[in-house]
Amino acid sequence: MTPEPRHPPIVPSYGAATLADLTSSILASLDPEAPESQNVLGLTPAQRACLLIVDGLGWELLRAHPAVAPFLSELALNSRPITAGFPATTVTSLGSICTGRPPGQHGLLGYQVLIPGENRLLNGLRWDSRVDPREWQPLPTIYERATAAGIAAGIPAASNASRIPAQRATPM
């Protein structure tokens, strides 16, 4: 018989401390007109912000290996953790970051998912040009929400980042 895990699973704290809450809080900190309720992380007001995303580099990893990334490790020591959504995949996490919404709302639920009404899988990182990203993920992106609030936003990323539906649905 397999022994029980030493630690219980980490359950995402939607609405309190997740990747979706991070980008919504960043946007709220940049918008003096945003209601306080949109800044659930309590970020201080700012005129500019830059979100650095390093896939797979989390709070626990930074704390376990401070010598590898000393500056980022220092930030992790003086902060509290946030959780990824479920499932904790790159596609799902980017969907939450790019929309400011949890997975159940943005619908990007994994690396490969069955395309409704078709007998084939959609790879969320490579994306299929026959699938309209705006139909798959119709919510406004965090970039569209920023633009609507009069805040300039952009994605300085590698060229393949434009294939992620949450980003493809964003006019640049």
Beta strands per DSSP E along 78-160:
112-114, 121-123
What's the whole-model pTM score? 0.84
Is 152 a domain residue? yes
CA distances to 58, 73, 80, 170 from 76, rounded to whole Å, are 9, 5, 7, 30
d(CA 62, CA 55) in angstroms, rounded, equals 13
Is 5 a domain residue? no
Is 33 a domain residue? yes
Calculate ∠ Cα 40-92-8, nearest 5°.
Answer: 70
Is 13 a domain residue? no
Is 63 a domain residue? no
Residue 18 CB: number of other CB atoms within 10 A?
A: 26
Cβ 41 vs Cβ 22: under 8 Å:
yes
Is 24 a domain residue? yes
The SS3 of residue 12 is: coil
Question: So what's the pLDDT on residue 161?
Answer: 53
Provide the domain count of the chain.
1
Is 11 a domain residue? no
d(CA 46, CA 171) in angstroms, rounded, equals 24
Question: So what's the pLDDT on residue 38?
Answer: 93
- Tens-binned pLDDT, residue by residue, of the chain (172 aa): 677 777 788 889 899 999 999 999 999 999 999 999 999 999 999 999 999 888 888 888 888 999 999 999 898 888 888 999 999 899 999 999 999 999 999 989 988 999 989 999 999 888 888 998 888 889 999 989 999 999 998 877 655 555 555 555 433 3
Q: Which domain holds residue 126?
A: 19-56+84-168
Question: So what's the pLDDT on residue 42?
Answer: 94
Question: So what's the pLDDT on residue 170?
Answer: 39
Cβ 111 vs Cβ 103: under 8 Å:
no
